[in-house]
Structures are given as C-alpha cells and as structure tokens.
C-alpha cells in the first residue's frame, strides 16, 4: 500500500492542488481548492494541506483550530474525482482525525454537511461523526467528540 501523506501547499504544488476537482455532480458541495487556499492564508487559525499518494496529489482539506485548540472545524475535505471510490478518502480522513486528536486539548471536531442525496453524510457517519440536527455554516452540523473517537 502506497504511503498517503499530507504536504503543505506551496508555490511548487499550487497549480496541481488547485486543479484537483470533485465529480461534476459534487461541485456545488465543496468550495474550489484555490478559494480554500486563499481562505486559509487569510485565516489566523486556519491551515490546509494537500493529500499525496506517492508523488501524486489526490485530495485537499482545510481545518480551523478554535477555542484555544479545544475545537477543530473541518471546513473543506475533498478527493479528486479520478481518485474517488478507492477508499482513499477514508484513509485520508482517518489520518487527519488521528493527527488532530493527537493533541490532548482537542475535545471535538465538527463540520457542515449537505443532506443532498449526493452529499457525504454517510461517509462522515462511518467515521464516527454524529449529526446534531443543527443548521450550521450553510449545511447540517456533525460532531465527533474525543470520547467517541475510535482511532
């Protein structure tokens, strides 16, 4: 199994990361990577990484660390359309959750998900996120608490 690693977005890989795209029917569910990279650069508590399988960028995520590190908000998470359906999104999410929960002060991670049939609610439920039925940041809030993390 090839190594999946997270790399900083730099001038050297900006073009490749900004060209990653979800499937056309998912395009309205996640912001463009270039917008997300700009957002991370302007947000003092935001950071982003590209996911690489070997030397190939396959995905991207943006995280905001809030409440002095006790809360992480997963703003963006995407796997390029050509890499979807291979279990890489789950590997990527599992690795990200392990990295975030390695911080002893982190109490929970949340995100906003679309309830559209093509949305990712089932994907996040399988990772342990629980829906709260709360409208949140343009979607529906899901939360993974430290005590429920199975990593």
Q: Are 14 and 72 in contact (CB under 8 A)?
A: no
- Structure confidence by residue, pLDDT tens digits, 93-112: 999 999 999 999 999 999 99
Q: What integer pLDDT is reported at residue 62 of this predicted model?
A: 98
pTM of the model: 0.93
76 exposure class (CB count in 10 Å sphere: 0-12, 13-18, 19+)? buried
Nearest to 50 by CA among 74, 73, 16: 16
| Token pair for 143 | 């939360």
**pLDDT for position 137:** 80
Residue 8, pLDDT score = 98
Q: Per-residue pLDDT tens for 11-21?
A: 999 999 999 99
- Residue 7 · residue 55 · CB < 8 Å: no
Q: What is the pLDDT of residues 36-54, one digit of tens each?
A: 999 999 999 999 999 999 9
The reported pLDDT for the residue numbered 136 is: 84
Q: What is the mean pLDDT of residues 69-80?
A: 96
Tell me, what's the pLDDT at 135?
Answer: 87
Mean of pLDDT values over 56-62: 98
Average pLDDT over residues 12-35: 95
| Range 26-45 average pLDDT | 94
100 C-beta neighbours (distance < 10 Å), count: 20
Name all domains of the chain by residue range, CATH numbers in brackets.
Answer: 4-109 (3.40.630.30)
């Amino acid at each position: 199994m090839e190594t999946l690693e997270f790399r900083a977005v730099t001038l050297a890989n900006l073009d490749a990361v900004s060209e990653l795209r979800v499937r056309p029917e998912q395009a309205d569910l996640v912001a463009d990577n270039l917008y997300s990279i700009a957002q991370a650069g302007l947000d003092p508590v935001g950071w982003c990484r590209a996911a690489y399988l070997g030397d190939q960028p396959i995905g991207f995520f943006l995280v905001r660390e809030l409440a002095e590190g006790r809360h992480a908000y997963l703003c963006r998470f995407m796997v390029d359309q050509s890499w979807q359906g291979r279990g890489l999104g789950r590997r990527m999410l599992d690795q990200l959750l392990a990295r975030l929960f390695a911080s002893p002060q982190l109490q929970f991670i949340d995100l906003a998900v679309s309830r559209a049939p093509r949305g990712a609610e089932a994907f996040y439920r399988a990772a342990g996120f629980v829906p709260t039925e709360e409208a949140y940041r343009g979607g529906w809030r899901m939360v993974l608490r430290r005590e429920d993390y199975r990593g």
